[in-house]
Structure 1
Protein backbone atom coordinates (compact mmCIF):
# COMPACT_ATOMS: atom_id res chain seq x y z
CA UNK A 1 0.00 0.00 0.00
CA UNK A 2 1.16 3.51 -0.78
CA UNK A 3 2.52 5.73 1.99
CA UNK A 4 0.65 8.71 0.53
CA UNK A 5 -2.20 10.16 2.60
CA UNK A 6 -4.86 9.01 0.14
CA UNK A 7 -6.80 6.30 1.93
CA UNK A 8 -9.65 4.90 -0.14
CA UNK A 9 -12.20 6.12 2.40
CA UNK A 10 -11.04 9.75 2.05
CA UNK A 11 -11.04 9.49 -1.74
CA UNK A 12 -14.47 7.88 -1.74
CA UNK A 13 -15.79 10.55 0.63
CA UNK A 14 -14.49 13.31 -1.64
CA UNK A 15 -16.07 11.74 -4.72
CA UNK A 16 -19.38 11.25 -2.90
CA UNK A 17 -19.32 14.87 -1.70
CA UNK A 18 -18.68 16.07 -5.26
CA UNK A 19 -21.65 14.06 -6.53
CA UNK A 20 -23.95 15.27 -3.75
CA UNK A 21 -23.12 18.95 -4.12
CA UNK A 22 -23.25 18.81 -7.92
CA UNK A 23 -26.69 17.19 -7.72
CA UNK A 24 -27.90 19.88 -5.31
CA UNK A 25 -26.49 22.56 -7.57
CA UNK A 26 -28.23 21.07 -10.59
CA UNK A 27 -31.54 20.95 -8.74
CA UNK A 28 -31.15 24.62 -7.76
CA UNK A 29 -29.91 25.75 -11.16
CA UNK A 30 -26.55 26.76 -9.71
CA UNK A 31 -23.42 26.35 -11.83
CA UNK A 32 -20.35 25.03 -10.03
CA UNK A 33 -16.85 24.84 -11.42
CA UNK A 34 -15.43 21.37 -11.98
CA UNK A 35 -14.00 19.66 -8.90
CA UNK A 36 -10.23 19.40 -8.67
CA UNK A 37 -8.72 16.49 -10.59
CA UNK A 38 -7.10 13.66 -8.65
CA UNK A 39 -3.31 13.64 -8.64
CA UNK A 40 -1.56 11.30 -11.02
CA UNK A 41 2.07 11.82 -10.00
CA UNK A 42 2.28 10.44 -6.44
CA UNK A 43 5.55 8.60 -5.87
CA UNK A 44 4.16 6.67 -2.88
CA UNK A 45 6.95 7.64 -0.49
CA UNK A 46 4.84 9.78 1.85
CA UNK A 47 6.63 13.00 0.96
CA UNK A 48 6.21 16.13 3.04
CA UNK A 49 3.92 18.16 0.79
CA UNK A 50 2.56 15.11 -1.04
CA UNK A 51 0.38 15.80 -4.06
CA UNK A 52 -2.51 14.18 -2.14
CA UNK A 53 -2.19 16.82 0.59
CA UNK A 54 -2.59 19.54 -2.03
CA UNK A 55 -5.50 17.63 -3.58
CA UNK A 56 -7.39 17.42 -0.28
CA UNK A 57 -6.75 21.11 0.35
CA UNK A 58 -8.24 21.84 -3.08
CA UNK A 59 -11.17 19.53 -2.28
CA UNK A 60 -11.88 21.47 0.92
CA UNK A 61 -11.70 24.78 -0.98
CA UNK A 62 -14.02 23.48 -3.70
CA UNK A 63 -16.49 22.24 -1.08
CA UNK A 64 -16.57 25.59 0.71
CA UNK A 65 -16.97 27.48 -2.55
CA UNK A 66 -19.82 25.15 -3.62
CA UNK A 67 -21.59 25.51 -0.27
CA UNK A 68 -21.26 29.30 -0.45
CA UNK A 69 -22.87 29.31 -3.89
CA UNK A 70 -25.63 26.94 -2.81
CA UNK A 71 -26.49 29.06 0.24
CA UNK A 72 -26.30 32.41 -1.54
CA UNK A 73 -29.72 34.09 -1.65
CA UNK A 74 -31.27 34.26 -5.10
CA UNK A 75 -30.87 37.59 -6.88
CA UNK A 76 -34.02 39.70 -6.92
Structure 2
Protein backbone atom coordinates (compact mmCIF):
# COMPACT_ATOMS: atom_id res chain seq x y z
CA UNK A 1 0.00 0.00 0.00
CA UNK A 2 1.40 3.44 -0.89
CA UNK A 3 2.16 6.11 1.71
CA UNK A 4 -0.84 8.39 1.31
CA UNK A 5 0.86 11.39 2.90
CA UNK A 6 4.03 11.56 0.82
CA UNK A 7 4.51 14.27 -1.78
CA UNK A 8 3.32 12.91 -5.12
CA UNK A 9 6.10 13.35 -7.66
CA UNK A 10 6.19 10.22 -9.83
CA UNK A 11 3.54 8.63 -11.98
CA UNK A 12 3.54 5.11 -10.51
CA UNK A 13 3.17 6.29 -6.91
CA UNK A 14 0.58 8.89 -7.86
CA UNK A 15 -1.60 6.37 -9.65
CA UNK A 16 -1.28 3.91 -6.75
CA UNK A 17 -2.36 6.64 -4.32
CA UNK A 18 -5.29 7.55 -6.58
CA UNK A 19 -6.40 3.91 -6.70
CA UNK A 20 -6.12 3.43 -2.95
CA UNK A 21 -7.98 6.63 -2.11
CA UNK A 22 -10.73 5.99 -4.65
CA UNK A 23 -11.22 2.55 -3.12
CA UNK A 24 -11.41 4.01 0.38
CA UNK A 25 -13.78 6.75 -0.74
CA UNK A 26 -16.06 4.22 -2.43
CA UNK A 27 -16.11 1.99 0.67
CA UNK A 28 -16.97 5.01 2.82
CA UNK A 29 -19.72 6.08 0.43
CA UNK A 30 -18.02 9.42 -0.21
CA UNK A 31 -18.40 11.31 -3.45
CA UNK A 32 -15.44 13.30 -4.71
CA UNK A 33 -14.54 14.54 -8.16
CA UNK A 34 -12.25 12.29 -10.20
CA UNK A 35 -8.50 12.72 -9.77
CA UNK A 36 -6.69 14.73 -12.44
CA UNK A 37 -5.93 12.87 -15.67
CA UNK A 38 -2.37 11.92 -16.57
CA UNK A 39 -0.94 14.40 -19.09
CA UNK A 40 -0.71 13.32 -22.70
CA UNK A 41 0.81 16.47 -24.18
CA UNK A 42 4.33 16.53 -22.71
CA UNK A 43 7.02 17.26 -25.29
CA UNK A 44 9.77 15.76 -23.13
CA UNK A 45 12.02 18.84 -23.20
CA UNK A 46 11.73 19.69 -19.49
CA UNK A 47 9.95 22.98 -20.05
CA UNK A 48 9.54 25.41 -17.18
CA UNK A 49 5.89 24.94 -16.27
CA UNK A 50 5.76 21.45 -17.76
CA UNK A 51 2.37 19.78 -17.85
CA UNK A 52 3.75 17.25 -15.34
CA UNK A 53 4.39 20.01 -12.80
CA UNK A 54 0.76 21.04 -13.08
CA UNK A 55 -0.36 17.43 -12.88
CA UNK A 56 1.57 16.77 -9.67
CA UNK A 57 0.30 20.01 -8.12
CA UNK A 58 -3.27 18.96 -8.98
CA UNK A 59 -2.61 15.38 -7.81
CA UNK A 60 -1.40 16.55 -4.40
CA UNK A 61 -4.38 18.89 -4.10
CA UNK A 62 -6.80 16.07 -4.99
CA UNK A 63 -5.08 13.71 -2.54
CA UNK A 64 -5.42 16.30 0.25
CA UNK A 65 -9.13 16.75 -0.55
CA UNK A 66 -9.66 12.99 -0.55
CA UNK A 67 -7.93 12.57 2.81
CA UNK A 68 -9.99 15.42 4.27
CA UNK A 69 -13.21 13.84 2.98
CA UNK A 70 -12.28 10.51 4.55
CA UNK A 71 -11.36 12.17 7.83
CA UNK A 72 -14.69 14.03 7.92
CA UNK A 73 -16.56 10.76 7.42
CA UNK A 74 -14.61 9.10 10.21
CA UNK A 75 -15.42 11.97 12.58
CA UNK A 76 -19.15 11.58 11.83
CA UNK A 77 -19.15 7.90 12.75
Residue aligned with 1:67, SS: helix
Q: How many equivalent pairs are there?
A: 67
Where structure 2 has 5 or more consecutive residues not aligned to the other structure, the ranges are: 1-8
Task: Give the C-alpha shift of residue 40 in structure 1.
Answer: 1.1
Map 1:20-35 → 2, pairs under 5 A? 20-35=20-35
Task: Give the C-alpha shift of residue 10 in structure 1.
Answer: 1.2
Partner residue in 2 for 1:62: 62
TM-score of the pair, normalised by structure 2: 0.81
Deviation string 1:23-67 (CA, Å, 9 cap, x unpaired) is 111111111210101111111100011000000000000000000
Larger radius of gyration between Structure 1 and Structure 2? 1
Map 1:30-41 → 2, pairs under 5 A? 30-41=30-41
CA RMSD of aligned residues (A): 1.6
- The runs of at least 4 aligned residues of structure 1 exceeding 6 Å deviation read none
TM-score of the pair, normalised by structure 1: 0.82
Residue aligned with 2:10, SS: helix
CA distance in 1, matches of 2:45, 2:52: 12
